[in-house]
Chains A and B, each alone.
Chain A
Amino acid sequence: MKKHIITLAMASCLAAPAFAQQQITVINFGGANANAQKKAYYEPYEKTGTKVIAGEYNGEQAKIKAMVETKKVTWDVVEVEAPDVQRGCDEGLFEKIDFSKIGAKADFLPAAVTECGVGVFVWSTVMAWNADKVKTAPTSWADFWDVKKIPGKRGMRKGARYNLEFALMADGVKPADVYKVLATKDGADRAFKKLAELKPNIQWWEAGAQPAQFLVAGDVALSTVYNGRIDAANREGRNLKIYWPGGIYDLDYWVIPKGAPNKDASMKFIAFASQPATQAVYAQNIAYGPVNTKALAKLDKKVLDDLPTSPANAKEAIQMNVGFWADQGEALEKRFAAWATQ
């Protein structure tokens, strides 16, 4: 009898939370960014009664496509990069967002409000160097190409995106005109030609964590890098510096895969993560800019100075042209693969 009571008690203990507590699965890109999201969004949101199970992926839209096509969606909320939001939305992979459940549109950056995605943060691909190892600070993108002025290898992302834009800037194109030039056949030729000049000195990186490691180890003198990684390294006592002009900023978005099991709870989570208070906590933990502009008032100057959205940093930066890359990406990436073999 006693045994029965114990089993019963245990069963009720196990069963009770399962009934009472809802849970959602949130997928992010991992790393320092995931830790900041955990502190700012997941842990506070759990206090409202919904358990958050965090998972990682590498941006593979194929996983979402496979889930949606087989109607076995196990992810509730997914962080995706800007080019994939529109494409996935067009192809019916994501639920449409009812923005009235998220917040007042006027509070958000215009780019953060889309048909299927809600902006999470603003990040930027910038030029960075290790001030402990490189004595001459770069003052333009032409310096990135100038291996005489600043000797040493250059770290660049393996692929066409960002590199073609930077190549044109180094070749004298004004940041604001980069996509206009790149859209023409001559412009693309010019970018690849400029990139070829630097080819022997390029050390390619694949994962976002690599360029900061290269800089710390002194493997490269200058590198293109996601600005949050520099911030994360500096929090560990490194002396890495960022050159902001010409940086290419972009947003990451929350999306809900079509047919996700807990749509209402997912929307509530996204709304929770879009409040000024939670967005401010996030920006304090990693140097990515809030999309809710009201969060800026809650941040002190030291934090603001490192954000890609601060006026000084954003002044000469450009927004990545999502439409351009959605149209031209496949062809340019293939051309990049052909270019690499030459």
Chain B
Amino acid sequence: MNSSTSHAALQGEDARALRRALSRANARQKWRAFALTVPLLVFLLLTLLIPIAALLQRAIENPEVVGALPRTVKSLEGWKPDAPPSAASYAALVQDLGQLPDSSDAGALARRLNSEVPGARSLVMGAFRALPVTGSPEEIKGRLLQLDPRWAEPPFWQAIAKNGSRWTPDYLLASVDLRRDSQGDIERMPPDLRAFGPILLRTFQISFVVTLFCLALGYPLAWWLASLPARKANLLMILVLVPFWTSILVRVAAWIVLLQSEGLVNRGLMGIGLIDSPLPLLFNRAGVVIAMVHILLPFMILPLYSVMKNVPPSYQRAAVSLGSAPLAAFFRVYVPQTYPGISAGALLVFILSIGYYVTPALLGGADDQMLSYYIARYTNVQINWGMACALGALLLTATMLLYSVYRRIGKAELSMG
């Protein structure tokens, strides 16, 4: 009654004013809530989204040739890729090289072409250093061929013609072992250059094996920890966490000491007579997996433990009291309740392993390196950042694909318990 009278009383001006005030208050509240998340959003934008966008852009960006050799690219339009180029193209090339604002542009051009056709670096820099070359187009052609007979070979000109646009799919194609032939059709790399497909496969294989081992080792431990009284469990949890807080390099070095052929593990096994000669545990796949499992184990144990802590023990007891065998009760009643922990832990470990770099580099052989190792090589050693970014994009895409498959199969939200 009371409310209806007040409702009736609030009409006209008053009601409108109140509604306005209310919506203002609501908006203020919304803005305040939004403002609270602004630091996080800005942080994510600056540290995650912009770098990823820049990375993807760099994987398709191709400014070197088009920026340095605009006339040459134009003169090669309509050129039959297998025929020797015309004298006009040679003249255009010399003119382009002569007008580069800085010698570093020639270096960048040489690097770009060299990653397409090995040898182009010395070819381009040789011509650049021989400048100025003057005369009629025919004379210029003669001078260049005299300087380096390789200027007659079509592949170098094909590389220039092919890279005549600002954007290129070449890096991304190369990251999945494909390339464009001289006609622009996509074909597979020759077998002795097909590297990244097997490397990506190996990256997932190692990550999968590491995840399995982490689950096999972490599950019983988490189960045991969850069944202990809190004080004891906390104490043991510290033991799980101490290695977690130690530097990865220190742990890798420790594994080298333990696993080498005269190390503790091999001497122990030989001492008790299990083996006659030392097992090869280092600088191969075994060493990589052992060390990675050790480093990543806490990421499996923590989510498992937090889920198991909340599973009431009475369910399993009820199953047993209703006649189930203890083992069957464990697998059919207890384990299904820990699925969120298993999936969270497995996902964490798997995604972290995919990006591993230092551990395989130091403990693995030439065929144990994961994709990140090659990303680092292209960034630091070859200085081919386009290729590094393309491999980064490949890793990102593969990981996201895998995650979506996982979401579909697991139908489980990423849950930290």
Q: Which residues of A pack against B, CB within 8 Å? A: 58-63, 65, 87, 89-93, 158-159, 192, 202-207, 217-219, 323, 326-341
Contact = CB atoms under 8 A, between A and B. Distances in A.
A341 B198 contact: yes
B193 interface: yes
B74 interface: no
A341 B111 contact: no
Contacts of A90: 103-104, 106-107, 110-111, 121, 125
A335 B122 CA distance: 20
Nearest to A90: B107
A338 B122 contact: no
Contacts of B102: 92
B366 A330 contact: no
Nearest to A189: B192
Interface in B262-290: 262, 282-283
Interface stretch (B34-42, B210-218, B380-388): B380-388
A254 B409 CA distance: 57
A338 B192 contact: yes
B195 A337 contact: yes
How would you classify the secondary structure of chain A's contact residues: helix, strand, loop or mixed? helix
A62 B380 CA distance: 5
A325 to B, nearest CB: 10
A338 B194 contact: yes
Interface string B366-404: 110100001001011111110000000000000000000
A91 B198 contact: no
Contacts, number: 114
A314 B16 CA distance: 96
Contact of A204 (B122, B193, B283, B379): B283
Contacts of A207: 362
Nearest to A57: B380
Interface stretch (B112-120, B138-146, B319-327): B112-120
15 contacts: A61-B381, A63-B380, A90-B107, A90-B110, A93-B104, A158-B369, A159-B366, A206-B361, A206-B362, A217-B260, A219-B260, A328-B118, A328-B119, A335-B193, A341-B195
B383 A340 contact: no
A91 B108 contact: yes
A340 B111 contact: no
Determine the interface band of chain B, counting residues with CB < 8 A from chain A.
35 or more
B367 A340 contact: yes
A330 B115 contact: yes
Closest 10 CB pairs of A and B: A92-B104, A91-B107, A90-B107, A338-B195, A60-B380, A341-B198, A340-B366, A331-B118, A337-B195, A340-B367
Given A62-B383, A192-B192, A202-B365, 11 more contacts: A59-B381, A90-B107, A92-B107, A205-B283, A327-B118, A327-B119, A327-B120, A327-B121, A334-B193, A335-B193, A337-B195
Contact of A336 (B105, B120, B366): B366
B199 interface: yes
A55 to B, nearest CB: 16
A330 B103 contact: no
Most buried by B among A61, A219, A336: A219
B104 A91 contact: yes
Most buried by A among B115, B199, B374, B382: B382
B122 A323 contact: yes
A48 B106 CA distance: 40
Contacts of A63: 380
A336 B111 CA distance: 20
Contacts of B365: 158, 202-204, 340
B274 to A, nearest CB: 20
Contacts of B260: 217, 219
B89 to A, nearest CB: 22
Contacts of B361: 206
B180 interface: no
Interface in B89-110: 102-108, 110
Contact of A219 (B122, B194, B261): B261
B202 interface: yes
A82 to B, nearest CB: 14
Contacts of B108: 91
Contacts of B374: 337
A204 B115 contact: no
Contact of A341 (B105, B115, B202, B282): B202
A14 B92 CA distance: 61
B111 A337 contact: no
A331 B380 CA distance: 16
A341 B119 contact: no
A61 B383 contact: yes
A333 B261 contact: no
